[in-house]
């Protein structure tokens, strides 16, 4: 993907730092809107940060309708790419089930589905038996039903980001791999200079899409981001013979009570917990982590985090975790990305801190940010992700980390204070009805 000789161009309208899902999506969508005066700088290979090892899960479900809109935008991007890319991008719209342990929770799900319907979110409430019919491995004691969202699924993140970058390049965007942004400084004419070993790029807008490394780039500008490094692990089980023989793939399953997700991975399972005691990672450790680098796995911690999952899905225990993937991502106190400028540095746009949901958010955020930067449109839904939403006087690192850890542990719960559902028990599909798919 590297241009043949020389270095990046001396000037561009938009310079994007970082070739993960966020940077690649932004580059592609700028080009789609007619702006190809864009350069993307990636210090190593595309996707070599957090994107390559993500589980690829793409939810559409969210308590906030604005967030739902962003998530729907992402899945639409993946669906379109799957159709357009010659060999696809590994988009698997297998649907999802979100388990409810009590009628009030089903009512919350119903409220989300009802609100989302006008935006194109499709979903149905299933009773316990209908849920189990779609997920026969489930031990359904204590489950009253689930929300079934057929448009959700998972994608191969590296193929998707690669396809976005390839399309951008085809359209004229200059994609430079193996080129590190070594510092960003203000130019006298109001633009910004991005220094690299292979020359300086001067751009009207610099987009920091450098994932967990964005904090270091912020420090160089004398800025501090409301972000901590957060570790996350998922595990892959050994193959399960019956699963391998099944003609249909299972939907992704999320259990908010036991705080885990699981999807089929060929003949095995891929599963990960959002534990109560997540591990945060310091800035200096992140600064020293290189491309395609994973963190040292902690199988015991993963086993503790998945203990409730094994009770819910006993085959997990029997199959056993064969390998563990441990990585890190920038995480904010409210678990939402940072998208936009900080008042101290207008023209430097943050598109980062995807808080372990950068595949679900990244494609959509890239599309919406391109509308803002080159399309002359201000997508209202981006307000919820404003990079300056935590104010100028950020709490101390220890407080930021504590808030991020609380948010991580409550990943599948509705945010405190959010109004929940009504009309519990209505419109629930029972086993044998057509809608169970
Ligand atoms: C174990 C695990 C599982 C996950 N599963 C999911 C999932 O199922 N669904 C989901 O939505 N999310 C998931 N995530 C989160 C997801 O991986 C990230 O949110 C997403 O990849 C972030 O994309 P990004 O483009 O912001 O950053 P990255 O992919 O980290 O890309 C940043 C890029 O910037 C480059 N870079 C850094 N500094 C510089 C510089 N100075 N100059 C030039 N380039 C630079 C890096 O090399 C890197 O390629 C998971 C994360 C982990 C750890």
CB 57 near ligand 1, within 6 Å: yes
Residue 333 is predicted with a pLDDT of 97
| Ligand 1 center to 340 CA (angstroms) | 18
User: What is the Cα–Cα distance from 171 to 371, expressed in whole angstroms?
Assistant: 17
Q: What are phi and psi of 358, to 5 degrees?
A: -75, -10
- CATH number for 1-92+152-227+333-394 (one of 3.50.50.60, 1.10.645.10, 3.40.50.620, 3.30.465.10): it is 3.50.50.60
- Of the pLDDT bands very low, low, confident and very high (cuts 50, 70, 90), residue 433 is low
Residue 425 is predicted with a pLDDT of 38
Residue 261 is predicted with a pLDDT of 98
Listed residue (179, 183, 221, 214) closest to 198, CA to CA? 179
The per-residue pLDDT of the chain, averaged, comes to 94
> For 96-150+228-331+397-437, which CATH class?
alpha beta
Q: What is the pLDDT of residues 10-40, one digit of tens each?
A: 999 999 999 999 999 999 999 999 999 999 9
pLDDT, average across residues 71-90? 95
User: What is the Cα–Cα distance from 339 to 91, expressed in whole angstroms?
Assistant: 25
User: pLDDT at residue 426 above 50?
Assistant: no
pLDDT, average across residues 174-183? 97
Name the segment(s) of the chain with CATH classification 3.30.9.10. 96-150+228-331+397-437
Positions of E strands within 301-342: 321-331, 338-341
SS3 call for 106: helix
User: pLDDT at residue 200 above 90?
Assistant: yes
pLDDT, average across residues 381-392? 97
| Ligand 1 center to 333 CA (angstroms) | 18
- Of the pLDDT bands very low, low, confident and very high (cuts 50, 70, 90), residue 349 is very high
Which residue, judged by its Cα, is nearest atom 46 of ligand 1?
Answer: 49
CB 43 near ligand 1, within 6 Å: yes
User: pLDDT at residue 199 above 90?
Assistant: yes
Please give the residue that has the higher pLDDT: either 284 or 85: 284
Look at the block and give the residue holding tokens 């006993």.
314
Residue 147 is predicted with a pLDDT of 98
CB 18 near ligand 1, within 6 Å: yes
Listed residue (193, 195, 217) closest to 203, CA to CA? 193
| Ligand 1 center to 157 CA (angstroms) | 10
Percent of the chain with pLDDT over 90: 90
CB 349 near ligand 1, within 6 Å: no
| Ligand 1 center to 105 CA (angstroms) | 32
Q: What is the pLDDT of residues 313-337, one digit of tens each?
A: 999 999 999 999 999 999 999 999 9
Residue 3 is predicted with a pLDDT of 45
Which residue, judged by its Cα, is nearest atom 26 of ligand 1?
Answer: 211
Question: Could you tell me which residues are beta bridge partners of residue 331?
Answer: 228
User: pLDDT at residue 435 above 70?
Assistant: no
CB 23 near ligand 1, within 6 Å: yes
- Of the pLDDT bands very low, low, confident and very high (cuts 50, 70, 90), residue 434 is low
The pTM (predicted TM-score) of the whole model is 0.95
Residue 317 is predicted with a pLDDT of 93
- Asked if 148 contacts 70 with a C-beta cutoff of 8 angstroms, the reply is no
Q: What is the pLDDT of residues 407-424, one digit of tens each?
A: 999 998 877 655 444 443
Burial of 186 (0-12, 13-18, 19+ CB in 10 A): middle
SS3 track for 109-172: HHHHHHHHHCCCCCCEEEEHHHHHHHCCCCCCCCCCEEEEECCCEECCHHHHHHHHHHHHHHHC
Residues 6+ apart with CB under 8 A from 213: 18, 49, 286, 287
Name the segment(s) of the chain with CATH classification 3.50.50.60. 1-92+152-227+333-394
pLDDT, average across residues 93-110? 96
| Ligand 1 center to 60 CA (angstroms) | 20
Listed residue (351, 387, 353) closest to 369, CA to CA? 351
């Amino acid at each position: 993907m590297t241009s043949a000789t020389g270095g990046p161009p001396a000037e561009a309208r938009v310079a994007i730092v970082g070739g993960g899902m966020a940077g690649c999506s932004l580059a592609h969508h700028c080009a789609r809107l007619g702006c190809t005066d864009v350069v993307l700088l990636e210090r190593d290979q595309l996707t070599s940060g957090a994107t390559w090892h993500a589980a690829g899960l793409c939810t559409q479900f969210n308590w906030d309708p604005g967030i739902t809109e962003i998530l729907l935008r992402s899945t639409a991007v993946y669906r379109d790419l799957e159709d357009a890319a010659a060999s696809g991008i590994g988009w698997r719209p297998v649907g999802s089930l979100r388990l409810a342990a009590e009628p009030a929770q089903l009512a919350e799900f119903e409220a989300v589905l009802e609100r989302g319907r006008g935006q194109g979110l499709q979903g149905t409430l299933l009773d316990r038996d209908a849920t189990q019919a779609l997920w026969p491995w489930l031990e359904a004691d204590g489950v009253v039903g689930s929300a079934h969202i057929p448009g959700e699924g998972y994608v191969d993140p590296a193929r998707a980001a690669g396809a976005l970058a390839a399309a951008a390049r085809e359209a004229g965007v200059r994609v430079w791999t193996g080129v590190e942004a070594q510092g960003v400084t203000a130019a006298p004419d109001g633009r910004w200079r991005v220094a690299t070993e292979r020359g300086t790029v001067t751009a009207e807008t610099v987009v920091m899409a450098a994932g967990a490394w964005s904090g270091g780039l912020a420090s160089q500008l004398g800025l501090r981001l409301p972000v901590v490094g957060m570790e996350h692990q998922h595990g892959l089980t050994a193959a399960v013979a019956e699963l391998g023989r099944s003609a249909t793939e299972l939907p992704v399953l999320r259990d908010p009570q036991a705080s885990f997700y699981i999807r089929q991975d060929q003949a095995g399972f891929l599963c990960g917990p959002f534990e109560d005691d997540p591990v945060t990672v310091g800035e200096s450790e992140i600064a020293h982590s290189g491309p395609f680098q994973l963190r040292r796995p902690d199988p015991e911690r993963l086993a503790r985090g998945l203990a409730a999952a094994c009770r819910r899905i006993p085959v997990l225990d029997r199959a056993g975790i064969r390998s563990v993937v441990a990585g890190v991502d920038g995480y904010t106190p409210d678990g939402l990305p940072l998208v936009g400028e900080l008042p101290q540095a207008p023209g430097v746009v943050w598109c980062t801190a995807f808080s372990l949901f950068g595949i679900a958010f990244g494609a959509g955020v890239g599309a919406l940010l391109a509308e803002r930067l080159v399309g002359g449109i201000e997508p209202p839904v981006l307000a919820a992700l404003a990079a300056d939403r935590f104010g100028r006087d950020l709490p101390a690192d220890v407080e930021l980390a504590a808030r991020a850890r609380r948010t991580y542990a409550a990943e599948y719960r509705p945010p405190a204070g959010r109004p929940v559902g009504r009309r519990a028990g209505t419109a629930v599909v029972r086993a044998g009805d057509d809608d169970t798919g």
